[in-house]
Structure 1
Amino acid sequence: MTIDATRRQLALGMAALAAVPAFVGAQSGSARATVLKAGDQKGGLRALLEAADELKGLNYEIQWAEFPAAAPLAEALNAEAVDLGPIGDAPLIFALANGVRIKAFAVNRSDPYGTAVLVRPDSPLKTAADLKGRRIGTNRGSIGHFIALKALASAGLQPDADTFRFLPPPDAKLALTQGAIDAWATWEPYTAMAETAGQARVLVSGRGLSSGLSFLAATDSALAHKRAALQDFAQRVVRAQKWSYRHVPEFAASLARIIGIAPDAARLQFERRRQQWIAADAQVLADQQRTADFFLEAGLLKQRLDVRPTFDGGFVPA
C-alpha cells in the first residue's frame, strides 16, 4: 500500500471517529469521565460487544473508529488518535518495527484457516507451487502479506519485484474478480465473504503456516493513564466471546447486521475461527518471535525485533 493510500484510510478512520457518538456509561455524566478511543477493523469488535450486551454499565465512555485493515489502524495508534485496537501478529510486528509506541495487552488465538490465499473459482491454480510467476494482491505488512510469503516459501519459491500488488481489501477483491491479479492474500471476514458469494476459493489456507495469533494493542499513553478502562474493556471482550459461542445463531445474525455482510458469511467466518483469549505465555512469545524472525529473513525488517518488550503482561483473561 502506498503512503498516500494509508493516509487516505487513516483519514477515513478519523472521520468515523468524529462521526460516531460515544457510548456513555452509567457514571459518565461527569466531564472528567475517562474516554476510551477504540479502533476497530470491519466492525467486528464493536459488533461482538453489542451483540453480547457488554456495552452497558460502563463507568467510562467509548468512542469508536472503524478501519478497513491493520495498517491505517496502526497509523491511528501511532498518532494517538485511538487508544487501542485489534491487530494481527504480522501487522503488530511491522508497526513496532516502524517505531509505533504500542504494546499488546491481550492475546487471542484462533484457527488460521481463513487467513488465506484466494483465487477465482475457475482459476487453474491448484497448489502453492502454482503461484510461481503469479501476481498476488494484499496489504503490505498485513497477515495476508505474511501468509502469501509463507505459502510461497512452503513451495520453495521466493517473491520477485512483480509478485505483489499492494492493495486494500476492497481493491484487491475487485482486482481478483477482474483478472488484474491471479491471487488475493487476505483474512476474515473477507475470505468468508468471497467464498460464500462464489467469487473465490481457498488455494492455500493459513493452517500450518500461521500461528493464529492476534492482539488487543494499546498505546503506551493509554496503558499508563487509562489502564483500568483497558482492563475492563478486555474482560468484556472475553465475556462477549464466551457468550457468542453459546449463542451462535443470534450472534451470527447480529454480526451480519452490524458489520453489513451476508449472514452466511458472518456465520462461516465466526464458526471456523474458534477464537480463544489466552495469557501471553512462553508459547505466545515464541510464536510471535518466529513470525518476526521470518520477516527479517525475508528482508522486510531491517533489524531483529525482540518481541518480549512489546507485550504488557498485566492482563490475564478471567
Structure 2
Amino acid sequence: MSATIFQLRHAAERRAALRVLALTAASWLGHGSVRAQGSPNAAAPKAGPLRIGFQKGSINLVLAKSLGLLEKRFPAGSVSWIEFPAGPQLLEALAVGSIDFGATGDSPPVFAQAAGKDLFYVGAEPPKPDSSALLVRPDSPLKTLADLKGRRIALQKGSSAHFLLVQAVRRGGLAWGEIQPVYLAPADARAAFERGSVDAWAIWDPYYAAAEIDSPVRVLATSRGLTNNNSFYLASRGLAGNEAALRELFAALTEADRYLQTQRKDAAQRFVQFSGLDPATVQRVLERRPPSPVGPLTAELVREQQQVADAFTQLGLIPKTLQVAEIVWRPGQSLVAQR
C-alpha cells in the first residue's frame, strides 16, 4: 500500500499579510529580491522551498497538497512535500533542518523537547479520541486492560500510540514494567501483529482503520477516556519567527478542512488517490474525524500536553522534567527569549 500523501477571508487582510510575508520570508526561505506585485507568487522573494513534512494521517495537509492551497499562497516552486512513517522521524528531520513544518500527535514533540531539539509548537487541531486504539486479534484471550500484564505490545516509540499505551497500562492497574513494549514502525508492527509475534498493537489512523478493514482485529480500547489524541503542528525556529507565514499556513489548512466538510465525496476521493488507501479505509478514517480547523495552541491544550510530558517523566521514559510552554509559539510574541 503506497502513500504519497498529501484566503484569508478578507482581501484587505490578505494583502496586508502578504506584504509582511514578502518582507520577512527571506528570514526562513533564504534571501532574494522582492517584487511588489499583487499575487502571492509575485509578492515573495526568489528563494528555496518551504519544506512540509507529512504522514498518511495528516488529512488537512493531504488535502492542502491535493488542492494546491499552499502553492497558491507561497512563492512559485517554493513548496515541497516529504513523507514520514510517523511523528518521531518527522521531528528528527525538522530538528536537523531537513523540513520547516509538519504535523504529529502528542508524544513526538515531548521526546523531541527532551532531546533538546530546537523546534516549536505553532498550531493544533481539535482532539480526535476515536482515531487511535489498542488492537488484539479476535481470538485473543485479552479482554481487559489488566490482561496486558506480561504481554508483548507493538508500538512506534515516541508516537501518540506510546502515550495511549502508557494510559492504558495505568488504567489497567499495571506498572509500565509489567508489560513488554516492542518498538516498531507502523508497517513492521502490523506485520508482527498479523503473524502473532506480539499480543497487541497500539496504533493510530489510518493504520488503525486499514487493519480493521483488511484484517480480523478486535479493539481492546480506543483513546477515548484515556487520551484526547491531540494533533499538533510544529515548526523550525526560523518559520516560528514569521507570524505572517504561519497564519497563511493555518488559513490553507483550515480551508482544506472546510473543503472536507462541504465536499466530502470529492475530498475522500482525493485522499484515496493521494494516499493509495482503500476507499473503505478512508471512509472509516473520516467517520471518526471531527471538523479540524487549525489555529494556535490554547491554554487548555498546553496543559494537556504538559500532562503527557509529566507522564513520560514519571515513568523514566524521558530523562528530565519538561516545561512544554517554553517551546509554544504565541501570536505577537518574539522568540528571542525562548531557548
Structure 1 residue matching 2:234: 3-state secondary structure: strand
Alignment partner of 1:38 out of 32, 38, 52: 52
Deviations 1:29-70 (A, max 9, x none): 987245211111127344211444524523322111000001
Cα pair 2:134 2:165 within 8 Å, conserved: yes
Task: Tell me the distance in 1 between the aligned counterparts of 2:46 and 2:99.
Answer: 18
Matches for 1:112-123 after TM superposition, within 5 Å:
112-123=129-140
Q: Flag the 1:210–1:84 CA change in 2: closer, same or farther, 3 A.
A: same
Q: Who is 1:201 aligned against?
A: 218
Amino-acid identity (%): 34
After TM superposition, give the deviation of residue 227 of structure 1 in Å. Answer: 4.4
Give the structure-2-normalised TM-score.
Answer: 0.80
Alignment partner of 2:262 out of 243, 246, 265: 246
Q: Who is 2:41 aligned against?
A: 27
Deviations 1:109-128 (A, max 9, x none): 23222221111222222221
Q: Give, as a single letter, the amino acid of the residue that structure 2 aligns with 1:254.
A: R
Task: Tell me the distance in 2 between the aligned counterparts of 1:214 and 1:30.
Answer: 29
Q: Who is 2:34 aligned against?
A: none
Deviations 1:255-301 (A, max 9, x none): 11101111111121122021433542221111111111111111112
Structure 1 residue matching 2:288: 3-state secondary structure: helix
1:59 aligns with 2:59: no
Q: Flag the 1:163–1:33 CA change in 2: closer, same or farther, 3 A.
A: same
Give the structure-1-normalised TM-score.
Answer: 0.85
Q: Give, as a single letter, the amino acid of the residue that structure 2 aligns with 1:27.
A: N
Q: Who is 1:287 aligned against?
A: 304
Q: Give, as a single letter, the amino acid of the residue that structure 2 aligns with 1:125.
A: L
Structure 2 residue matching 1:186: 3-state secondary structure: strand
Deviations 1:222-279 (A, max 9, x none): 223x543332122100111122012222211211110111111112112202143354
Task: Tell me the distance in 2 between the aligned counterparts of 1:311 and 1:139.
Answer: 24
Alignment partner of 1:74 out of 91, 102, 106: 91
The runs of 5 or more residues in structure 2 that have no matched partner are 6-38, 333-339
Moved more, 45-54 or 108-117: 45-54
Matches for 1:115-194 after TM superposition, within 5 Å:
115-160=132-177, 163-194=180-211
Structure 2 residue matching 1:38: 3-state secondary structure: strand
Structure 1 residue matching 2:176: 3-state secondary structure: coil
After TM superposition, give the deviation of residue 129 of structure 1 in Å. Answer: 1.4
Matches for 1:251-262 after TM superposition, within 5 Å:
251-262=267-278
Task: Tell me the distance in 1 between the aligned counterparts of 2:190 and 2:284.
Answer: 19
Q: Who is 2:29 aligned against?
A: none
Cα pair 2:150 2:178 within 8 Å, conserved: no
Structure 2 residue matching 1:72: 3-state secondary structure: helix
Task: Tell me the distance in 2 between the aligned counterparts of 1:30 and 1:239.
Answer: 21
Alignment partner of 1:107 out of 124, 142, 145: 124
Q: Who is 1:264 aligned against?
A: 280
Q: Who is 1:92 aligned against?
A: 109
Moved more, 266-275 or 201-210: 266-275
Moved more, 295-304 or 255-264: 295-304
Q: Who is 1:304 aligned against?
A: 321
Q: Who is 1:13 aligned against?
A: none
Q: Flag the 1:258–1:43 CA change in 2: closer, same or farther, 3 A.
A: farther
Structure 2 residue matching 1:313: 3-state secondary structure: coil
Cα pair 1:90 1:142 within 8 Å, conserved: yes
1:49 aligns with 2:47: no
Task: Tell me the distance in 1 between the aligned counterparts of 2:280 and 2:307.
Answer: 34
Moved more, 76-85 or 281-290: 281-290
The runs of 5 or more residues in structure 1 that have no matched partner are 1-15, 17-24
Q: Give, as a single letter, the amino acid of the residue that structure 2 aligns with 1:301.
A: I
Cα pair 2:57 2:206 within 8 Å, conserved: no
Q: Who is 2:246 aligned against?
A: 230
Q: Flag the 1:161–1:211 CA change in 2: closer, same or farther, 3 A.
A: same
Moved more, 81-90 or 46-55: 46-55
Cα pair 2:44 2:74 within 8 Å, conserved: no
Q: Flag the 1:208–1:30 CA change in 2: closer, same or farther, 3 A.
A: closer
After TM superposition, give the deviation of residue 144 of structure 1 in Å. Answer: 0.8
Cα pair 1:177 1:199 within 8 Å, conserved: no
Moved more, 43-52 or 72-81: 43-52
Paired residues in the alignment total 292
Task: Tell me the distance in 2 between the aligned counterparts of 1:111 and 1:31.
Answer: 38
Q: Flag the 1:202–1:275 CA change in 2: closer, same or farther, 3 A.
A: farther
After TM superposition, give the deviation of residue 149 of structure 1 in Å. Answer: 1.3
Task: Tell me the distance in 2 between the aligned counterparts of 1:79 and 1:28.
Answer: 30
Moved more, 173-182 or 69-78: 69-78
